[in-house]
Chains A and B, each alone.
Chain A
Amino acid sequence: GAGVSQSPSNKVTEKGKDVELRCDPISGHTALYWYRQSLGQGLEFLIYFQGNSAPDKSGLPSDRFSAERTGGSVSTLTIQRTQQEDSAVYLCASSPESNGFPNRGETQYFGPGTRLLVL
């Protein structure tokens, strides 16, 4: 039973470059979430997927951030023209569907995160 996996585990990039972060959720989990965690801060919600659609994009900090999910499984978070303030740990989580409704707010299983450093 594999858990949520993310890649790369670490990414160092130069300001202005684009980066792509990948998340593989637990097999069968319908809901997928992206969060950002800055040093010493709580989790900052970015975006939520139900299947392949994203009903809630309210947390994306700017139009440089985008995410997609294909096949109801793998998701990628893309940050264009990275800035130094984008440096953080980007966490992905998934949760199962229950009673035919996305189990949003129920137990979310987190991946190990991608540590992004923008120089």
Chain B
Amino acid sequence: GESVGLHLPTLSVQEGDNSIINCAYSNSASDYFIWYKQESGKGPQFIIDIRSNMDKRQGQRVTVLLNKTVKHLSLQIAATQPGDSAVYFCAERGGLDMRFGAGTRLTVKP
């Protein structure tokens, strides 16, 4: 879920393992969701998106799952690589507003 304050949730995984990053959203009317990756010192980078009429979408090594019943979004990264180390955050659109979570810091251990 979203974090408040200076300390981001962290996830540490071994290189080659799969990673799952979670996000809870609050607006049941949200109809569009995006996952962003932000590497240190860089702006956010679009990874994958999903609309509310879907519950799963796959990209290259990434899968986004949407559970509207419990308002939960997850990002799965297959065969995590050192280059995947970054802060990942979700964004939700409800009406004309887009809200961003604070993010989760993923660290990949070699």
Contacts and interface: CB of A to CB of B under 8 A. Distances in A.
Interaction A to B? yes
| Interface of A, helix, strand, loop or mixed by DSSP | loop
**How big is chain B's contact interface, by range?**
20 to 34
Nearest to B103: A42
Interface stretch (B4-12, B14-22, B69-77, B78-86): B4-12
Interface stretch (A11-19, A60-68, A80-88, A100-108): A100-108
Helix, strand, loop or mixed for chain B's interface?
loop
Contacts of A113: 42-43
Contacts of B97: 105
Interface in A3-40: 4, 35, 39-40
- 6 closest Cβ contacts across the A-B interface? A110-B43, A105-B93, A42-B102, A43-B100, A40-B6, A42-B100
Interface of A: 4, 35, 39-43, 45, 91, 93, 104-113
